[in-house]
Amino acid sequence: MDNIKQLKKFWSKKKVFITGHTGFKGSWLCIILSYLNANVHGYALKPKKNSLFRKSEIKKSLSSNTFGDINDIFKLKKKVKLLKPEIIIHMAAQPLVIESYKNPLETFNTNIIGTLNLLESVRNVKSVKSVIIVTTDKVYKINKKNKSYKELDQLGGFDPYSASKVGAEIITDSYIQSFFKNSILKNKISTVRAGNVIGGGDFSKNRLVPDIIFAINNRKKLKIRNPQYIRPWQHVLDPLLGYLMLAKKQYLNKINDNQHAWNFGPSNKNFKKVIDVVKYIKKLHNFNYVISTNKRFKETKYLKLDSSKAKKKLNWTSKLSLDESLKFTIDWNRNTKKELSIKSICERQFLMYINKK
């Protein structure tokens, strides 16, 4: 992985267009790229009042900030054509499984049609040299052997969120085969699949770690769903640095791979049960919890990713153990009560991550 000097050398002044930049991962990405002196242009819905985007005041560091719906193809197309970005990272999404059960139409529209709109918007923009489409680890058809999923494994999804992201994968493959295979964007468009990301600044409901932090801060009793389910836990910095490594390689025309999907999952040690994460955090902060018996929404019981392709072809590896990832997250929450600059806390953790051997 590049050191900070190498990162700045490449990303400085690069014109990067990020959709979904007001979300949790999008805000972290904006903070990182702004620190690396990139020209960051964002396109997303307005951020929620309680969001990392607002709390970090990252808007001040962006080259442009557009509030718009990814389903508004005319506005999106106009913006991409006007800005002429070099690198595009598509993160705009409805990212929650339970929310997808409650609002399936919005989920399918945003995750499928939104991706289609983005791909259509870059078709005739010659400045674009690299495109990253962010999907999810939940795009794989569930196998009964409990093995780690590889990029060529069969896709499938029973819940609306997973199915919508499978749709985004299929649409991306269709556009690559139909329009980009013999163009200047050959081997420069990829989909990326990451695990259950955690980190400071995630205030989403019905996500385990944010729910625990909310319970700690507000002295509430927490309801735990599916305590025995296994997830690929990883700090948000791990996949984001993987996306940036891939984007750089594509930009420099150093990817020669007809299979354009990439896993960016944690090491095997980070595949843990939900209850293990709860017990670890409880050692650091006391809080009360109960096991929920509500089985209203079906969720995947076992989820592991095989990221050997990224390790082999990009020299990428997940840096943080689960304990370190949780400590980063808890420390972030603790430090926000002491410091005024949320952005500085994020930048400091980014540097700690990059300098970690």
The average pLDDT across 163-187 equals 96
Q: What pLDDT is attached to residue 258?
A: 80
Q: What pLDDT is attached to residue 232?
A: 81
Measuring CA to CA, how many Å separate 296 from each of 80, 102, 222, 226? 41, 11, 18, 11
CB proximity list for 135: less than 8 A, separation 6 or greater:
165, 168, 169, 191, 192, 193
Predicted confidence (pLDDT) per residue in 120-143, tens digit: 999 999 999 999 999 999 999 988
- Angle in degrees, CA 329, 211, 307, rounded to 5: 55
Average pLDDT in the chain: 93
At 80, is the pLDDT very low, low, confident or very high (cuts 50, 70, 90)? very high
Q: Model pTM?
A: 0.94
Residue type, 273: K
The average pLDDT across 153-161 equals 93
Return the higher-pLDDT residue of 208 and 284: 208
Residue 13: pLDDT over 90: yes
Instruction: Tell me if 228 sits within 8 A of 265, measured CB to CB.
Output: no
Predicted confidence (pLDDT) per residue in 280-310, tens digit: 888 878 888 888 776 666 666 778 899 999 9
CB proximity list for 163: less than 8 A, separation 6 or greater:
108, 157
Q: What pLDDT is attached to residue 272?
A: 85
| CA–CA distance, 48 with 72 (Å, rounded to integer) | 20
Q: What pLDDT is attached to residue 204?
A: 85
User: What are φ and ψ of residue 16, in 5° steps?
Assistant: -115, 130
CATH number, domain of 52, equals 3.40.50.720
Q: What pLDDT is attached to residue 113?
A: 98
Residue 146: pLDDT over 80: no
Q: What pLDDT is attached to residue 284?
A: 79
Say how many domains are in the chain.
1
Residue 259: pLDDT over 80: yes
Residue 170: pLDDT over 90: yes
Q: Could you list the residue range(s) of the whole structural domain that residue 183 is in? A: 4-355
Residues recorded for the chain: 357
Residue 205: pLDDT over 90: no
